Structure 1
Amino acid sequence: MMAEIDDTLPKYLQISAYLRELIERGELAPGAEVPSERELAARWKVARPTAAKALNTLRQQGIVRSRRGSGTYVSDRSALMRENVPRYGPPFAADDSVTVLEAAVVAAPREVAEALGPSRARAVMRKGLNIDSSGSATLITSWYPDGFAESAVHLLALEPLPGGALRYLESAIGRGTAVVRERVGARLATADERRHLALLSPAAVLVVHRTCLDADGVALEFRAAVHPPGDRILQQEYSTSSAADFRD
């Protein structure tokens, strides 16, 4: 049974997204052989070059690898980075309510330009409100290099993207996330944040900044997730044999 795929995407991206979903769910484990070009072409009713392009997209992202004269296999060391890493609270679920509030090419704020690259005067901005099953809201603003607006046109769509915007971007440009940098802090909420998160004034919020880089160190996304007070707890576990002396 095929997963639901956005029909507005090119066929090769629909195929690569479907295979990636199988790999993420563990239905295709590391080392497992993925369907061949011929099998994909027959199953999806496309020409073989289209199927080859889908496999090549995953190959460029490091998700699969080819063996000469043998076939294509899931990489032993997956290059996948899930859209929501559960370090600073629970991950977002598929049944969460997501509303895209804004999507446009805008002047890049200083912090965004520094994260995406010093020459980035403009950036694609997507702002959305995520509400989970418990009613907890998170305001998320993501920025992408403005050059991606042509190759990943759906970043400017005022609707949620299947699997999330970063996953869509990776598929559209054929490059995956290799390094993730995160930093977390607290500050007073802005008027816009208070309005969307239904907070009184003044109110403190937890802000998680995340920068995603490809294998060449090029920034793909800079994201700020704003959480209401008391909504997220940071948990870490480490071995005392490798940690600094914590008894002082």
Structure 2
Amino acid sequence: MTENLGVKAPKYLQIAAELRRDIREGRFNPGGRFPAETALATRFKVSTLTLRNAIGVLRAEGLIESRHGVGTFVRESRRLQRQSRHRYGRARDDQKLLTSHLRHEIVFAGRAPVPGEIASAMDVPADTELVVRRRHLFNRETDRPEEIGASYIPVEIAGGTYLEEPKVVPKALFLCIEELSGKKYTSARDHWLSRLPTAEEAAALELPTGAPVMQVIHVARADDGTVLEVSESVWPADRIVVIDEYPIDPQPVMPETPSEV
């Protein structure tokens, strides 16, 4: 019996509602294979086209995912956690990549003009040439794409070095930049944005039509105010949660830029 969505609700939405309830009530195991289209079409006594429309709704909601050449699976509810304030200290301690739990693939390394929003973050003209390292990150077990991004480094720091080679560095990139520049990362600013992906991002992350992404532009500076690196990362919005812990001012204080929400 499907949920009561009203007499005018299309059949595929009624089916999607029942399958959504099955997922949320644990009738299908998270990470497990989703029933075949033929089996579901028989269960609901509908055409394959109607059933595919219902599945498309669940896929757009992020409840299921299709893996090319493998099948359709119930998406696990656990999201990747980003705890920005603790990332650098951990990497300084273990000398590993900031996201060492994921498989890294460097798809480009070399000099390129800086994009407009990155130029604004670095306070440089939009056509400034920087050393750019573009990366794709994958789940080590499933090989599912989890993140795409890039790091932008001043040529005077990274030009003519191994950072212009399309190879994964042996430790966190910021540790490499500190060695090359002779300066320490001492402050950072993160700018978060929720938006629809570009066509290239949707293809790289294997996203269904209409699925949003989360983007962060991370600006890291030395104690003299020099920008050592600007990085950007993009994730499917339903796969990440941002956790921020911070002290609360005990005394009245007026910030330079007050919060609007």
Instruction: Give me the TM-score of the superposition, normalised by structure 2.
Output: 0.54
Quick check: which has more Rg, 1 or 2?
2
Asked if 1:114 is matched to 2:120, the reply is: yes
Q: 1:127 to 1:243 in 2, by over 3 A?
A: farther
Query: What residue in structure 1 maps to residue 152 of structure 2?
Result: 143
Structure 1 contact 116–145 (Cα < 8 Å) conserved: no
| Post-superposition offset of 1:201 | 2.4
Query: Residues 132, 176 of structure 1: CA spacing in aligned structure 2 closer, same or farther, 3 A cutoff?
Result: farther
- State the secondary structure of the residue aligned to 1:230: helix
- The partner residue of 1:81 within 71, 82, 88 is 88
Shift of 1:163: 1.1
Question: How far apart, CA to CA, are the structure 2 residues paired with 1:205 and 1:118?
Answer: 27
AA paired with 1:128? R
Query: Which amino acid in 1 is paired with 2:149?
Result: I
The answer on whether the counterparts of 1:83 and 1:167 sit within 8 Å (CA) in structure 2 is no
**Does residue 225 of structure 1 match 2:233?**
yes
- Tell me the residue number matched to 1:159: 167
> Partners of 1:148 and 1:239 in 2: how far apart?
34
Map of 2:71 onto structure 1? none
Quick one: distance in 2 between partners of 1:110 and 1:197?
A: 23
Question: Which residue does the alignment assign to 2:133?
Answer: 126
Residue 150 of structure 1: how far off its partner (Å) = 3.1
Q: TM-score, normalised by structure 1?
A: 0.56
CA distance in 2, matches of 1:243, 1:188: 40
1: CA distance, partners of 2:98 / 2:174: 14
- The reply to whether residue 104 of structure 1 matches residue 110 of structure 2 is yes
Structure 2 gap segments, 5+ residues each: 1-86, 253-261
Maintained 8 Å contact 1:92/1:132: no
Displacement of 1:233 in angstroms is 1.2
Which whole-Å CA distance do the structure 2 matches of 1:83 and 1:103 have between them? 26
Number of equivalenced pairs: 159
C-alpha root-mean-square deviation of aligned residues, in Å? 2.9
- Point out the more displaced range, 164-173 or 111-120: 111-120
Change in Cα spacing, 1:84 to 1:142, as seen in structure 2 (3 Å) is: farther
The change in CA–CA distance for 1:84 and 1:112 in structure 2 (over 3 A counts) is farther
SS at match of 1:199: coil
